[in-house]
Chains A and B, each alone.
Chain A
């Protein structure tokens, strides 16, 4: 384990150098978190299909249990059970639109990971930074369980468990557990756990911060301990279900799949699940007694259990829906946790926007009316009143609003339009509107992907390190 040990120490030191201004030491958080023997235990795998570019390069890295698609280069890094999805990268000749600029993309974009440790992290989407259009970089960074690096070039940063950085270029930042950041560009910030921050400078600024004592019950991460809390327990309790799908080479789907839908072979499908037309189910999704209407999707690390989604629903990366009924066009943001009970179900009306990193966890029946914006921690009807607002009313905000722990400054109409446009775009990209001929998306393009596996040195000085591998068409 000498080589992997040296690699580990080298990365931790580089991250600490970047975070020295914040006086942050990542070592106590990560040391011993993943036993080195685990790095040899799991194979890595990659997908090939005629619908995706193929250019994978791995050098002096460990890739245990990780998945790669598209164009990606990994150097001097440790990627543990992470998903690196390069199926939305920009292509040569694309035009990138940015305020006051229309920038031609000069070559195919690539995800470039160097000197980083990513644990159970999802990397997806494309770089939204006009300064680095062709390179979606992640360097000198450590991220923990179920973090999402989504369209966010990242350098010298620390992402706690269940943290999400979305459409944001980030350097030298600490993002606390269960925080969601979409702010364009940030640097040298230490963001407390449970911060939900959506900012477009000059247009709007939305901020919600979880009460720490209540958040700790759901997710808590401290030095010297693995991530704890109900959200982690929930996932760990279902971990065994994924073992068979990773052990078997060929798996026949256990449910009927329409021709226009896509069910990833690395998803877990339990009985009584129904999949309609144009549905997309991504790898590491977990469906149990789940009814997915036309155009619904379940992205990576999603759990949909004993629930019904009427159609055109976005269930973003890491979202969990249990004992709930969702109307059409409901958006459930990243890592949200919506849980009813068998005897007191949760009902979400049509057209709702459940903001990223929202927790609705109830002990009595609760209905969210149609067309609301919902955020934060909700345990009952009073919390819902405090942490929601009709989308139409929100769109009328001009200037400032404070509602309990939520702060908003700017133009509510631009904010709601940005969300609605993005939801439409996600559905479009996922193929929800496919009509048999046009508007193909991931649900149609991802149906026939072949998977190959790669493995590291099994013993010796280089044990755990993958040899240099270059995979091209």
Chain B
């Protein structure tokens, strides 16, 4: 696996879906759809949108899971459930309350329409130092960082600038390919 370098597996930033800080969730969804249409369909599909600041620097990532989180009832609507575990209530009790609350919430269509105008940075995962990796790093190092941080992707840098994304799916494909070669 040492033969693989991060730069061989990454998706170049230019091919990835990006939006500016301040964009709405709807704009993020459109960017994701556009990137998917333009992308090579023989590869894995896009699973996120990068958020750029005004200097085009990556400040966060908005994933499928973040999109679903936006549909969940907000802390203001949490109805006091938040923090119950501190008081020794069972997880069964708390999850039962959450289910009941979700059922009482607005139907999905209503939630979608109210969610679309929300700002993408309110739901993105801000980047942290451990999510960056140099483009010349080996696949072993990349695997270690992904596993340690439980990440779905890493931001690939060259002289300090983000030039691409290393996705878990592409790393797994490389590992799978290597395993197959070994078995022959």
Q: Is A205's CB under 8 angstroms from B87's CB?
A: yes
Q: Is A207's CB under 8 angstroms from B96's CB?
A: no
User: Residue B65 at the A interface, CB < 8 A?
Assistant: no
List 18 extra interface pairs beyond A205-B87, A405-B80, A407-B80, CB under 8 A: A183-B88, A189-B86, A197-B87, A199-B87, A199-B88, A201-B88, A205-B88, A207-B84, A207-B87, A207-B89, A209-B80, A400-B93, A400-B96, A400-B97, A407-B89, A407-B93, A409-B89, A409-B93
User: Residue A398 at the B interface, CB < 8 A?
Assistant: no
User: Residue A107 at the B interface, CB < 8 A?
Assistant: no
Residues 58-116 of B contacting A (Cβ, < 8 Å)? 80, 84, 86-90, 93, 96-97
Q: In the complex, what residues of A have CB within 8 A of residue B86's CB? A: 189
Q: Interface size on B (CB < 8 Å)? A: 10
Q: In the complex, what residues of B have CB within 8 A of residue A201's CB? A: 88
User: Residue A20 at the B interface, CB < 8 A?
Assistant: no
Q: For the complex, give the distance between the alpha carbons of A132 and B139 in Å.
A: 58
Q: Tell me the minimal C-beta distance from B143 to chain A in angstroms.
A: 35
Interface residues of A (CB under 8 A from B): 183, 189, 197, 199, 201, 205, 207, 209, 400, 402, 405, 407, 409
Q: In the complex, what residues of A have CB within 8 A of residue B93's CB? A: 400, 407, 409
Q: In the complex, what residues of B have CB within 8 A of residue A405's CB? A: 80
Nearest CB to that of B100 among chain A residues? A402
Q: For the complex, give the distance between the alpha carbons of A409 and B89 in Å.
A: 7
Give me the 9 closest cross-chain CB pairs, A-B, nearest first. Answer: A409-B93, A207-B87, A400-B93, A409-B89, A199-B88, A405-B80, A197-B87, A205-B88, A205-B89
Nearest CB to that of B86 among chain A residues? A189
Q: For the complex, give the distance between the alpha carbons of A398 and B50 in Å.
A: 49
Q: In the complex, what residues of A have CB within 8 A of residue B88's CB? A: 183, 199, 201, 205
Interchain residue pairs with CB less than 8 A apart (17): A183-B88, A197-B87, A201-B88, A205-B87, A205-B88, A205-B89, A207-B84, A207-B87, A209-B80, A400-B93, A400-B97, A402-B97, A405-B80, A407-B80, A409-B89, A409-B90, A409-B93
Q: In the complex, what residues of B have CB within 8 A of residue A402's CB? A: 97
Q: For the complex, give the distance between the alpha carbons of A205 and B93 in Å.
A: 11
Nearest CB to that of A400 among chain B residues? B93
Q: For the complex, give the distance between the alpha carbons of A201 and B97 in Å.
A: 20
Q: Is B84's CB under 8 angstroms from A407's CB?
A: yes
Q: For the complex, give the distance between the alpha carbons of A209 and B89 in Å.
A: 14
Q: For the complex, give the distance between the alpha carbons of A193 and B88 in Å.
A: 18
Q: For the complex, give the distance between the alpha carbons of A419 and B163 in Å.
A: 66
Q: For the complex, give the distance between the alpha carbons of A212 and B87 in Å.
A: 18
Q: For the complex, give the distance between the alpha carbons of A207 and B84 in Å.
A: 9
Q: In the complex, what residues of A have CB within 8 A of residue B97's CB? A: 400, 402, 407
Q: Tell me the minimal C-beta distance from B73 to chain A in angstroms.
A: 15
Residues 153-179 of B contacting A (Cβ, < 8 Å)? none
Most buried by B among A207, A209, A409: A409
Q: In the complex, what residues of B have CB within 8 A of residue A183's CB? A: 88
Q: In the complex, what residues of A have CB within 8 A of residue B84's CB? A: 207, 407
